[in-house]
Amino acid sequence: MSEEKLAVLASGRGSNFKAILEHVDFNILQNVEVEVLISDNPNAKALEIAENFGIENEVMVPDDKTREEHDKEILEILREKNITTVALAGYMKIITPILVKNFKNNMLNIHPSLLPSFPGLNSQEKALEYGVKVSGCTIHYVTEEIDSGPIILQHPVPVMEEDEFEDLSKRTLIFEHRLFSKALQLHVDNRLTVNEGKVSIDYSKNWEEGWNERQEKFIRYQKKEWDNKYFEKVWT
């Protein structure tokens, strides 16, 4: 099977980007070549992660360019590198139609809420403020409206009464880190079909059993790396 060429766009900490690289390193996420990391922020921790993993990285600061001009430059790089799939992993800039159209149903975003609840910025603060009992994360295809594209995968996360932002954020990240690679694998395995804004998933031939078996290694590793308290009371 040929390798899918993936570009990751990230603006900050890069923990989702790192989790994708770990899934590739552990041979859990297969037939994916992470070609390049692009960041709009020269101080993004994601850039250090790229360096550590030997991944080519580009800083593309928008400066005084329009959003369209900036996205055109990104598109040029993606084309040069024959990128077929784009992952937005904590990318804080709004994507303009020029990029969206070129990567229709080939650009995935992660959002830390159960969409369509709490789209946009500060979704977890808003969820806490609202007092929801269940939050979670969503992976979806990117469309021109923010956080509104066809939903690929979601995972619920309980909200505890005593939760501060950091608690909910960390408890959710555990699942973000697992879900993004699963969605990417479904995508590159051609298991996803978008019809009238809805994604149907072909789990035939024990796809999910195979995935869960491979991902066990990552989950074991995660449990060593993360404070145990974030694994309490979660639904797996």
Smallest separation, CB 210 to ligand GRF (Å): 26
Structure tokens at 190: 């051609």
Residue nearest to ligand GRF (CB): 90
Question: Considering beta carbons, is residue 118 or 211 the nearer one to ligand GRF?
Answer: 118
Under the binding rule (CB under 6 A), the answer on residue 47 touching ligand GRF is no
Distance CA 122, CA 107 (A): 22
Under the binding rule (CB under 6 A), the answer on residue 149 touching ligand GRF is no
Which residues within the stretch 169-188 sit at the binding site for ligand GRF (CB under 6 A)?
A: 176
Structure tokens at 216: 């066990």
- CA-to-CA dists, residue 68 to 47, 72, 196, angstroms: 23, 6, 27
Number of residues that bind ligand GRF (CB under 6 A): 12
Radius of gyration of the chain (CA): 17
Check if 111 is active-site: yes
Under the binding rule (CB under 6 A), the answer on residue 159 touching ligand GRF is no
Question: Considering beta carbons, is residue 115 or 186 the nearer one to ligand GRF?
Answer: 115
Cα-Cα-Cα-Cα dihedral sign, residues 35, 176, 18, 218? negative
Angle, nearest 10°, between helix axes 15-25 and 207-225?
120
Single-letter residue type at 61: V
Task: Return residues touching ligand GRF (CB under 6 A).
Answer: 10, 12-16, 89-90, 110-112, 176
The residues annotated as belonging to the active site are 111
